[in-house]
Amino acid sequence: MSKKLEKLADRIRQEPNVNHVTTLSDVIKRLNKAMNGDNPDFYSIPESRELVAQYLLLYELSVPFGLDLNDRINVNKSATRFTVTLQNASNDDLRDLDQIIQNYFEALF
């Protein structure tokens, strides 16, 4: 699932009015890099789902209250938030972005 989110985020980042995209896959990539000595070669999603789960557990146990992933992922880990920040976007831009997302979900999910 994380790799699918990453592909969607990469696609949306190409849009001209998009300032920032925040996904759980970004957090996972940062954790993987940090757990591997901040080696930039590890800024990727690990192949092992178990390793991803361990990284997320370690992260949630180590951060102070309020900095956990509750704003990014639900308690049973079945849904995640995908946040897109836009600049100077018209209604047409929003409709176009929504269509990109809808097409992506129809194709991959």
Stated pTM of the model: 0.77
Classify the phi-psi angles of 11: left when phi > 0, otherwise alpha if psi is within -120 to 50, otherwise beta: alpha
Domain count, the chain: 1
Nearest Cα residue to 31 out of 18, 46, 19 = 46
Q: How many angstroms from the chain centroid is the CA of residue 21?
A: 8
Give the domain extent around 74.
2-108
Name the stretches of the chain with pLDDT < 50: none
CA atoms of 60 and 63, how far apart (whole Å): 6
Supply the pLDDT for residue 34: 94
Supply the pLDDT for residue 5: 84
Supply the pLDDT for residue 1: 61
